[in-house]
Amino acid sequence: MKKKALITGITGQDGAYLARFLLKKKYTVYGTTRTLKKNNLRNLSRLNILELCNILQCDLLNIKQTNQIINKINPDEIYNLSGLSSVGKSFIDPLDAYRSIIFSTVNILENIRLKRNKTKFYLACSSECFGNILSGSATENTEFNPLSPYAVAKTSSYYITKNYREAYSIFACSGILFNHESPLRNDDFVTQKIITGAISIFNKKKKFLDLGSINIERDWGWAPEYVEAMYLILRQRNPSDYIISSGKSYSLEKFIETVFSYFDLDWKQHVRINNKYKRPMDLTISKGNPNKAKKYLKWKPKYDLKKIVHEMINDKLKQN
Ligand code: NAP
């Protein structure tokens, strides 16, 4: 019997890569989306897997609809990746962040609880829950200190998942993922904005790139590698939470420099700081310790910052 996986948020960066990975593992893949519009399915088309996935429209905030879809599929595994994924946007529309991240988690876990079946559950949790990591790197035991509506919502979902695991013995786990990028990263994220900006400057279409805080540090990884960790988390004998990170942290300045030096450009002549792009509160330093994942999942990231940046640039150039 082929295993069945349901991926909420299948149209996003991680959803598309996870779907491709699970198809290679011979799963039957189902996915939910808020809208079946062609443009919203472009990531699946880009990976040539749209026809191989079963895509269903579903409002995960609607418990009746959520139950209908899950009951019809009866999946072995549910990967809950849907919801607002931008920290910046969560400051503009906090209600949307809370609803889309928290309610979907509760609705899915309620379905598993009431059916008392063996469906395994994965939550896409985030390094943003930790807030600033001022010394060393975060482990699974580091206290959470969320600094944005997005992070508050992810922290709530983390504890909801833990509660269902402990109270009802459901195989429910959180992957606490640090930033991960790829050519499928949404264009409104700063990493894609930097790449698009540098290409326009190189092509003499514009002279400057306006950014918010560039002295922040992030622990960046490669999305196709990170989705493999999601699958491995559900393969363990016992359910648990895992940090998925590279273990190395770089400033956004370093990211910018890596992008601009690809084009032999001096970023200092082209990047301007614009307060308009600063957030009410920003996480300055983020760094995760992936040792638990290395030890138990046997998972290890291979891509470094330069390789991530170059793959993203090459892809953008191909598209232009
Ligand atoms: P993404 O590309 O934005 O995909 C998320 C998907 O969720 C979207 O394709 C969208 O699907 C749905 N969605 C977006 N906004 C929504 C909203 N307001 N309400 C309901 N659904 C919404 O995100 P991703 O990078 O693949 O990340 C996947 C998950 O991992 C997210 O939960 C994200 O928060 C989390 N995460 C990501 C990172 C990272 O660095 N990428 C790090 C840590 C955690 P439809 O439009 O088809 O409904």
Q: Mind listing the pLDDT tens digit for each residue in 165-214?
A: 999 999 999 999 999 999 999 988 999 999 999 999 999 999 999 999 89
Confidence of residue 149 (pLDDT cuts 50, 70, 90): very high
What CATH class has 190-217+249-286+304-319? Answer: alpha beta
Site of tokens 């200092």: 268
Give pLDDT, residue 221. Answer: 98
Confidence of residue 281 (pLDDT cuts 50, 70, 90): confident
Closest CA to 10 of 69, 50, 38: 50
Give pLDDT, residue 137. Answer: 97
- Which residue's alpha carbon is nearest to atom 32 within ligand 1? 81
Instruction: Return the axis-axis angle of helices 149-168 and 104-115, rounded to nearest 10°.
Output: 10
Give Cα separations from 57 to 11, 72, 119 (angstroms).
11, 13, 21
* Domain limits, the chain: 4-181+220-247+292-297, 190-217+249-286+304-319
Give pLDDT, residue 280. Answer: 83
C-alpha 43: how far from its chain's center?
14
In short, whether 96's Cβ falls inside 6 Å of ligand 1 is: yes
Q: d(Cα 129, Cα 127) in Å, to the nearest integer?
A: 5
Q: Which two tokens stand for residue 213?
A: 């805080």
Residue 141 has pLDDT above 90, yes or no: yes
Site of tokens 């195989």: 171
Q: Running DSSP on this structure, what letter comes out for residue 138?
A: B
Give pLDDT, residue 255. Answer: 98
Task: Give the CATH H-level superfamily of domain 4-181+220-247+292-297.
Answer: NAD(P)-binding Rossmann-like Domain (3.40.50.720)
Helix or strand run (H / E) with residue 306: helix 305-319
Burial class from Cβ neighbours inside 10 Å (0-12, 13-18, 19+) for residue 35 reads exposed
- The pLDDT of 12-33, averaged and rounded, is 98
Which of 41, 79, 85, 244 to mutate to test ligand 1, by most ligand atoms within 8 A of the CB atom? 85
Give pLDDT, residue 98. Answer: 98
Q: d(Cα 162, Cα 206) in Å, to the nearest integer?
A: 49
- The pLDDT of 126-145, averaged and rounded, is 96
Confidence of residue 7 (pLDDT cuts 50, 70, 90): very high
Alpha carbon of 58 to ligand 1 centroid (Å): 15
Alpha carbon of 80 to ligand 1 centroid (Å): 9
Q: What average pLDDT is seen over the chain?
A: 96
Give pLDDT, residue 282. Answer: 81
Helix or strand run (H / E) with residue 250: strand 250-251
Confidence of residue 277 (pLDDT cuts 50, 70, 90): confident
Cβ contacts of residue 181 below 8 Å, gap of 6+? 189, 191, 220, 221, 222, 223, 308, 312
Three-state DSSP at 154 gives: helix
Alpha carbon of 227 to ligand 1 centroid (Å): 13
In short, whether 32's Cβ falls inside 6 Å of ligand 1 is: no
Alpha carbon of 82 to ligand 1 centroid (Å): 5
Domains 4-181+220-247+292-297 and 190-217+249-286+304-319 share a fold: no
- The pLDDT of 273-299, averaged and rounded, is 93
Give Cα separations from 72 to 30, 66, 68 (angstroms).
11, 10, 6
262 in Cβ contact with 195 (< 8 Å): no
Percentage of residues of the chain with pLDDT beyond 70 = 100
Q: d(Cα 110, Cα 254) in Å, to the nearest integer?
A: 44
- The pLDDT of 233-245, averaged and rounded, is 98
Q: Running DSSP on this structure, what letter comes out for residue 66?
A: H
Residue 252 has pLDDT above 90, yes or no: yes
Helix or strand run (H / E) with residue 222: strand 221-222
In short, whether 82's Cβ falls inside 6 Å of ligand 1 is: yes
Site of tokens 């150039």: 317
In short, whether 7's Cβ falls inside 6 Å of ligand 1 is: no
- The pLDDT of 5-15, averaged and rounded, is 98
Percentage of residues of the chain with pLDDT beyond 90 = 94
In short, whether 40's Cβ falls inside 6 Å of ligand 1 is: yes
Q: Which two tokens stand for residue 161?
A: 């998942």
Give pLDDT, residue 38. Answer: 92
Confidence of residue 240 (pLDDT cuts 50, 70, 90): very high
Which of 10, 14, 126 to mutate to test ligand 1, by most ligand atoms within 8 A of the CB atom? 14
- Which residue's alpha carbon is nearest to atom 45 within ligand 1? 33
Residue 278 has pLDDT above 90, yes or no: no
Query: Catalytic positions, please?
Result: 126, 128, 150
Confidence of residue 135 (pLDDT cuts 50, 70, 90): confident
